[in-house]
Amino acid sequence: MISQNIIWKTDINDAVTASAEKRKPLLIFFTAQGVNSQLQNEIFATRDFEEWSRKNVILVKLDLSDPSASDAVKEQNLMLKNAFGIEDIPQVCFSEVTVRKGKTSFNKLGLIAYKAPGVKNWISESNSIINPE
């Protein structure tokens, strides 16, 4: 069952605000045109992921090849990619965010890429990253 109800934020600043309000970590999906779409098709497009993500995370999609993004946004996205140590895309980074006195700090919780097979394994691994025992 393909889910169309997932809303991805594409501006990290909006996501930071939502994360602070809802007290949920960010799931930052680093992607670009032409990358392998398994993660999107086999994980993000599922109802399981939709339900899990709604409860657990703020979804952020940073397309590093987006031609409509401003230079400032492109630069910011690249800085985030480097700060989180993202080497291969597509890649997902989980991060907590704190905003104090107008300054945003990211606390990287972990990275996860596409893992076969299936969404249940992916969610289970993601849960162990965002809710370590």
The structure's pTM equals 0.92
In the predicted model, is pLDDT for residue 27 greater than 90? Answer: yes
Contact 32, 63 (CB under 8 A): yes
Tens digit of pLDDT for each residue in 77-130?
999 999 999 998 999 999 999 989 989 999 999 999 887 678 999 999 999 999
Between vectors from CA 12 to CA 6 and to CA 114, what angle results, nearest 5°? 55
- Domains, the chain, with CATH or none: 12-130 (3.40.30.10)
